[in-house]
Amino acid sequence: MRKLIPILMTAFLAAGCYEEILIPTEDKDPVLVMNAQMDNLEETHQVHLSVSRLSKVEPLRGASVKAYVNGKLVAEAVEMVDANAWNHTAYAFQAAFSPGDEVRIEASKDAFNASATVIVPPAVAIASVDTSSVRMTYLDDTSDYLQLKVRFQDIPGDSWYGVDQRISDFWEYLDEDGNVIPEYTAASSNLGSIETGFDPVISEGSGKTSGSDFAALLSVENTYNCFSDSPIAGEECTLRVMTYPWNVYLNDYRYGLLIPESMVDDPDAWSILTQLPSRVRRECFFRLRSLDFTQYHYLKALNNLETFGTEMNFLVEPTTLPCNVEGGLGFVGVETITEMCYARFEREYAPTDTVYY
């Protein structure tokens, strides 16, 4: 026992030794950071610029941002005013992207010069979307789901995809005679949530996803809903995607009020609209996103960073985020989205119907 004590003390003292590391506190060599996530369906795109310093990240205002498609200048971005943007500045421009286009974004100000070049990935055709109501038990929870079966042809060669859905609402307010008040019409479009905790590929000769990216979804949330075509092997296949019905169907009661642009600054807008009957038309779109490998790798790495953050686990290994910005940091991506409408709903609400938020 007496021999054991010195050994333990030696180990304790050895463990207590450390080397002092001096961390610089002065800002040196600031870096331009450029980020953008764009697609072929949107007409207006945004590029976010900031300056990364040792002590902070700050917006980069007054920069020149140019967009080129196939070597031709198509737009010069306009700086957007955003009072809530505390660490970046957004620059907006309009351009149309098609599969196979070479998109180049250049940003510069003073000594900062950065650029990124992306090839727009090929489009994927959706053959059909079938819907059905199912009741399933997942992780000991039994719930009603809306099941989407999406038939599509895999792009030849190595391909990468993402899935989501878009819900578009068009509101009309009616006068006492039931006529539409044109200046009160309003529209909104939002990405709806989907559940990705299920194996999305139905075999049908194309193989299962066992051992692939989606197999990990049982334990890791796939925030960006990305997957590779490794289990599909260039064949036609069916995706199975789940969502909760209440994310799709219109409620029996009015859920909020959509304020028309013509009334945004009108302090009486709420009281006026609550006294009017309204009609809402909803369209639900399934979206299949075609990605290139760099963007797929970036989204997967970003997902790992957000899922296994160091806030709760200091033993986690560092996550490397891909960077395709020359002369700076960040990532610029363009994805090709194919949409198909799978459901349409219409409902009218009386002025007496309760408004919930």
Convert the pLDDT of each residue in 318-354 to its tens digit: 667 889 999 999 999 999 999 999 999 999 999 988 8
Measured in residues, the chain has a length of 357
Give me the pLDDT at residue 102, please.
98
Give me the pLDDT at residue 161, please.
92
Sign of the Cα pseudo-torsion (24, 25, 30, 36, in order): positive
**pLDDT, tens digit, 9 for 90 and up, residues 119-146:** 999 999 999 999 999 998 766 788 899 9
Confidence of residue 23 (pLDDT cuts 50, 70, 90): low
Confidence of residue 217 (pLDDT cuts 50, 70, 90): very low
Residue type, 276: L
- In the numeric block, the tokens 């049908």 are attached to 204
Sign of the Cα pseudo-torsion (202, 149, 147, 308, in order): positive
From CA 133, how far away is CA 146, in angstroms rounded?
5
> Is pLDDT at 216 greater than 90 in this prediction?
no
| Residue 180 DSSP symbol | B
Q: What is the pTM of this model?
A: 0.82
Q: What dotted CATH number matches 31-119?
A: 2.60.40.10
Contacts of 259 (CB under 8 A, 6+ apart): 186, 269, 270, 273
Contacts of 109 (CB under 8 A, 6+ apart): 60, 62, 63, 64
Rg over alpha carbons for the chain, rounded to the nearest Å, is: 26
Q: Which long-range contacts link 322-326 to residues 24+ away (Cβ below 8 Å)?
A: 322/294, 322/297, 322/298, 324/116, 324/117, 324/118, 324/294, 325/32, 325/33, 325/34, 325/114, 325/115, 325/116, 326/114, 326/115, 326/116
Give me the pLDDT at residue 197, please.
65
Three-state secondary structure string covering 32-98: EEEEEEEECCCCEEEEEEEEECCCCEEECCCCEEEEEECCEEEEECEECCCCCCCCCEEEEEECCCC
Give me the pLDDT at residue 218, please.
36
From CA 7, how far away is CA 11, in angstroms rounded?
6
Residues above pLDDT 90, as percent of the chain: 57
In the chain, CATH 2.60.40.10 covers: 31-119
Say if residues 33 and 330 touch (Cβ distance below 8 Å): yes
Report which of 346, 342, 285, 340 is spatially closest to residue 131, judged by C-alpha positions.
342
- Cα 170 off chain centre by: 23
**pLDDT, tens digit, 9 for 90 and up, residues 168-196:** 999 999 999 999 999 999 999 999 888 76
What is the arithmetic mean of pLDDT over 103-125?
A: 96
Give me the pLDDT at residue 155, please.
92
- In the numeric block, the tokens 């044109």 are attached to 182
Helix (H) or strand (E) holding 106: strand 102-109
Say if residues 77 and 89 touch (Cβ distance below 8 Å): no
**pLDDT, tens digit, 9 for 90 and up, residues 255-302:** 888 999 999 999 999 999 999 999 999 999 999 999 999 999 999 888
